[in-house]
Amino acid sequence: MRGDQRLYTFHPRIVAVMSGGMGLSLIAVFGVIWFRLSEDSRDTFSWFQRLTLLAFFGAILWILYRMTTLRVSAYPDHLRVRNVFKSYTLPWDSVTALRFRPGDAWLQLFDADGNRLGILAVQAAEGARASRAAKELAAVARDQGAGPRRTP
């Protein structure tokens, strides 16, 4: 995409702090548990069991990492959304609406094909900060040409 100058970025603070704290807590708790086990107890774990535990632990930490890095960024020619499991890049002409109604868990984006995409970075847990972010992002979207398509 050609527009590398960021016009607007938002990321949630509450989710980042909570996820980061949970990740650090998991590392500390499991580290203490593992090293408090006697060597005989640790030796009862096979290599397969150890790898399975590490893979499971790594998957949880990866999800927590992705949660700490949720964000939405607006550029002159596109919108970039980073959610937990997937990131999206949408040109402005494919964005038809952004909605953040009372009771919604997070900002909803509607594209030209009628698909709905949740923007997890802007979520109700942030309170007034999220409401401001939704309004600011909607203003940027309008300025960049996003909105409903009118047929001639």
3-state SS of the chain is CCCCCCCEEECCHHHHHHHHHHHHHHHHHHHHHHHHCCHHHHHCCCHHHHHHHHHHHHHHHHHHHHHHCCEEEECCCEEEEECCCCEEEEEHHHEEEEECCCCCCEEEEEECCCCEEEEEEEEHHHCHHHHHHHHHHHHHHHHCCCCCCCCC
Number of folded domains that form the chain: 1
30 lies in which domain range? 1-152
Measured in Å, how far apart are the chain's first and last C-alpha atoms? 29
Strand order in the sheet with 116-123: 95-99, 106-111, 116-123
Q: Which candidate, 3, 13, 147, 122, places its Cα nearest to that of 74?
A: 3
Q: Which residues pair with 8 in a beta bridge?
A: 74
> Which pLDDT belongs to residue 114?
87
99: left (phi over 0), alpha (psi -120 to 50) or beta: beta
Q: Which residues pair with 89 in a beta bridge?
A: 80
- What is the pLDDT tens value at each position of the chain, 152 positions in all? 455 788 999 999 999 999 999 999 999 999 999 899 999 999 999 999 999 999 999 999 999 999 999 999 999 999 999 999 999 999 999 999 999 999 999 999 999 888 999 999 999 999 999 999 999 999 999 999 887 765 55
The model's pTM is 0.82
